[in-house]
Amino acid sequence: MTKQQKIDYINQVNDRFREARNHGRNGSNWWYPTPNTIAYNVKLYGQKQGIEEIKELMTDRQKEYYSDDNLYDFINHWQNQEAEMFSNDLDLEYSVKSGYAGRSGGWLEVEYSNPLEEVDKNTEDINYLYQEAKKLDKLESIIAEHIKTRHKSFINYLNSADWPKDMVNNELMPDDDIADIYKGRIKSLTDKLK
């Protein structure tokens, strides 16, 4: 590779990171992006399973205890926790800083450490900067693929028959715990009668 080709490559990678589209510091619009932050689309399109599929598997006591609104809030809270764990795992695994942005949090934005600068034929350390550009470019490619794979896997899970079962069996309170709550309410009400 010629020196000019290395210069062109360094500048191309640097420009792509410094001018990447993202939601900026306030996390809600594209007009004021921050440099070195790339937004990845992680919206949950086409989710087939929902509250009705979960309710079909719930016990009568669970159906009585969880209203549709409570169930909807519970599912949103669960999905937010899963998203936060994914972001934290990404940060730890790749030494980046990530977070969600957009009106509904459908963009995972990853902030990269970019050691590059605009270079020309007079810049020293072209070979070093070229190696850094290759590392940065490869890291972004690996992270993009990782996000794409995990996102697809999560959507497949949400669309599987396993997800409603897992929600009922592992996430919602079982009948015995709900009964204990009811007993506690009864006790507090009877204590008021004393």
List the structure tokens of 98: 């990530």
Question: Is residue 141 within 8 Å of residue 37, measured between CB atoms?
Answer: no
Does residue 194 surpass a pLDDT of 80? no
Q: What would the mean pLDDT of 162-190 be, rounded to a whole number?
A: 90
Lowest pLDDT segment from 13-27, 76-90, 117-131, 156-170: 13-27
pLDDT confidence band for 175 (50 / 70 / 90): very high
Q: How far apart are CA 7 and CA 126, in angstroms?
A: 7
Is residue 30 over pLDDT 90? Answer: no
Where residue 184 falls among pLDDT bands split at 50, 70, 90? confident
Q: Which two tokens stand for residue 76?
A: 């949103």
Q: 187 pLDDT band (50/70/90 cuts)? A: confident
CA-wise closest residue to 8 among 116, 119, 114, 112: 119
Has residue 137 got a pLDDT over 90? yes
Report helix, strand and coil shares of the chain as percent, to nearest 5: 60, 10, 30
Q: Whose CA is closest to 78, among 54, 107, 46?
A: 54
Contacts for 68 with CB less than 8 Å, ≥ 6 apart: 51
What per-residue confidence (pLDDT) applies to 165? 94
Percentage of the chain beyond pLDDT 70 is: 95
**Mean pLDDT in residue range 37-55:** 85
pLDDT value at residue 28: 67
Overall domain count for the chain: 1
Is residue 7 over pLDDT 90? Answer: yes
pLDDT mean over 93-99: 96
* CA-closest candidate to residue 112, choices 39, 38, 11, 40: 38
Instruction: Return the exposure string of 10-21: e unless at least 16 CB atoms fall within 10 Å of the residue's CB, then b.
Output: bbebbebbbebe
- Residue 109 banded pLDDT, cuts 50, 70, 90: very high
Residue 153 belongs to what domain range?
3-193
Asked which of 6-10, 12-16, 44-48, 76-80 is least confident by mean pLDDT, the reply is 44-48
